[in-house]
Amino acid sequence: MHKKFRSRLESNRNKYPYQVLEAVEEALTKLAHSNYHEFYGHYNHLDWLTSLPWGIYSADNLDIIRAQNILDEDHYGLTDVKERILEFIAVGKLTGSFAGKIICLNGSPGVGKTSIGRSFARALNRKFFRFSVGGLYDVSEIKGHGRTYAGSMPGKMVQCWKNAGTSNPILGKGRGDPASALLELLDPVQNANFVDHYLGVPMDLSKTINIPAPLLDRMEVIAITGYTTDEKMHIAINHLEKFIRKQCGIKPEHQVLVTDVALRELIENYCKEPGVRSLQCT
């Protein structure tokens, strides 16, 4: 066990922050001298510390034309939203950094907030990971549990960071209201030294780009107003219909036809939401 963690440490020693190196060395010592009851607590702590992507970053692609092509390929319409995102990338290219940047995509369900986040990540050549803060009322679910508790583990932020595999992913945070827990996470001044209660070491989250639910004074808000009837028609014909046919196993030879008249009837009289989620389900 000791050799496994030592091997992980030595293979990336130059990328570990000094506080993490000290924590790993201390945890290795504790593991070597632990009794049966303490062993798994120290083992899990070391496993988390040495499994995180310390110092691993995706190389940003700041080609504005490429980003525009990706946004147009993935989304029909939403011209204002795309322009704001392209401006955001252009400013990052000029300043050489996205550190501390927080984008709030504000819109009704089904207008494409998560999808836009994924396209944004693809345009920048970054990993995308989404988690919902809905239903999270305990700060420890985001900031982690202290290791004195049985079964304790890191919070959602660290779990997402590990799953993303890089230190500069784009994180999409869904609706919810654990405002006190998110405040430190989203504050550009504090998040460079975010401390998860379980890990007990500072983490630099300033290089992530956050796309969260509203905490307005710390964000750049991009409003997504929704789609017109004609835009919904285009999306249904060119995207949703193909997706649903594949999902339901409807092949061309089955000759199932959805007419423009039927689509317009659905959109105008049944699926009146700003987005297309209910249209897809219908």
From the list 40, 42, 47, the residue with the least C-alpha distance to 5 is: 47
Tokens found for residue 175: 């609706």
From the list 58, 44, 62, the residue with the least C-alpha distance to 164 is: 58
From the list 242, 236, 247, the residue with the least C-alpha distance to 76 is: 236
Q: What are phi and psi of 202, to 5 degrees?
A: -70, 145
CA distance 141 to 156: 6
* Cβ count within 10 A of residue 145: 18
Pairing of strands 194-195, 202-203: antiparallel
3-state SS class at 162: helix
Supply the pTM of this predicted model: 0.73
Contact criterion met (CB below 8 Å) for 190 and 148: no
Residue with structure tokens 């039927």?
262
Give strand pairing partners of 273.
none
CA distance 115 to 109: 12
pLDDT tens string, the chain, 282 residues long: the values are 677 888 888 888 888 888 888 888 888 888 888 887 788 888 888 889 889 999 899 999 999 999 999 999 998 888 899 999 999 899 888 988 776 677 888 888 788 888 899 999 999 999 998 876 655 666 677 778 777 777 788 888 888 888 889 988 888 876 655 555 555 566 665 566 677 777 777 777 777 666 554 455 667 788 888 888 888 888 888 888 887 877 777 777 667 788 888 888 888 888 778 888 777 776
CA distance 182 to 133: 9
- Cα 271 from chain centre: 29
Which contiguous run of DSSP H or E holds residue 129? Answer: strand 128-131
